[in-house]
Structure 1
Amino acid sequence: MSDAVPAAPSAPSAPSAWNLANALTVLRIAMVPFFAWALLADGGHSTTGRLVATGLFVLAAATDRLDGWLARRSGQVTDLGKLLDPIADKVLIGTALVLLSWLGDLSWWITVVILVRELGITAMRFFLLRYVVLPASRGGKLKTVLQSVAIGLYLLPLDQLPTFVSVVAAIVMAAAVVVTVVTGLDYARTGLRISRTASRPPASGL
């Protein structure tokens, strides 16, 4: 009988941050300048430019669903991906909101409310990195979908489309603002709880 001790099974290695899902997230960020250029063509009044900008925005937004699906399917969910994915969304959506307001197509108060929420939650995520990587919640994902649909509608040349399209765009944007505020408060409550729990000194044993 052999006296050899069987080797302990090795711990599974963490997935590499260099994967297709994260590459798509980076691509989403890289598309933002091209989207902005198309939207601002001819002072934002070019029908072709608006349609190209809409197409780029929809394509970039679609990668948000694709990169998450790929990461889960291939077992390549990484902390880098969890951090970059919401940042990429905020860069894309924030740029679209600011430019739409600058062009006079969207009220500035809507842009300010959404950006204050997004920047505040992003800052909180960075603060919580010392304790945990805070992924997007289901409510946060719904918020992103509503914002993306609303912005996609506002990017269209609405003055050349039936009035009901503008009405639908306004309704979806209103829903996006409500969900944005509600989920922002929920994230803030979660972040505060994590911070308090992590900073609480451990109970001493008897």
Structure 2
Amino acid sequence: MKVFERTENGVTSTVSKREGLDEINHAQMGGKRDVRTMSSITRTDFAIEYKDGRKVRLVLVDAPERTSPRFAFGDLVMTDQGLGKVAKVISVPRRNGTRITRYDVELDTGGEIYAHESDVRPFEPEMKSPEQPAEERTALIQRRADGHDLMGRVVTVKGKDYVVSRIVPADRPVHTGAPKGWEPRAYVDYWSERDGMRFGATRTAGPDAKPGTVGRAIWDAVNR
């Protein structure tokens, strides 16, 4: 299919072959009193200069290929009325030989709208930021003269807060005087927590603590 590229004072647009020929015929006949000069550069290329200062160039060319629609049936899209799904793709011819695309969109909220291509946008799921781990609470275990106080992690077990020391590993050196055949095991010391400090007696928890006890729950909590 042929169309005219119409350039007026440097601005180019595309018009149908019929519209281009109508302007050429009008400049040669009924409207020639408004034309200063007109020339046929080739059989498909015409130049018109109007008395009001407009300069028009009309060149017959092949119509540009129609681009594929941006969206297809079933695509999720965003419209001014919310999220929806493309139910129908409609190609509408224009007088200048080109085509425009419109869509029937079924809205998630119910109902259907008829939308121009410029009113439909790709659906972009919101990217959630990774959840930041909760800030770890600590409490004072022991004050030191050098100012580097010994702090412990606070864990909540059975609705109560406890201060827990670092894990003492099982592969530590065996102290002199330990019973024969005794094998060291990993453990933590823990205390009740009050006003940001340890409180009460020192207790110990390890992997051999009885299931269901506070000691076992504390051991499991520090090893997660």
Please indicate the TM-score interval, normalised by the length of the shorter structure.
under 0.3
Question: Under a length normalisation based on structure 2, what TM-score does the superposition of the two structures give?
Answer: 0.20
Higher relative contact order at CA 8 Å, sep ≥6: structure 1 or structure 2? 1
Q: Which structure has the larger Rg?
A: 2
Question: Under a length normalisation based on structure 1, what TM-score does the superposition of the two structures give?
Answer: 0.21
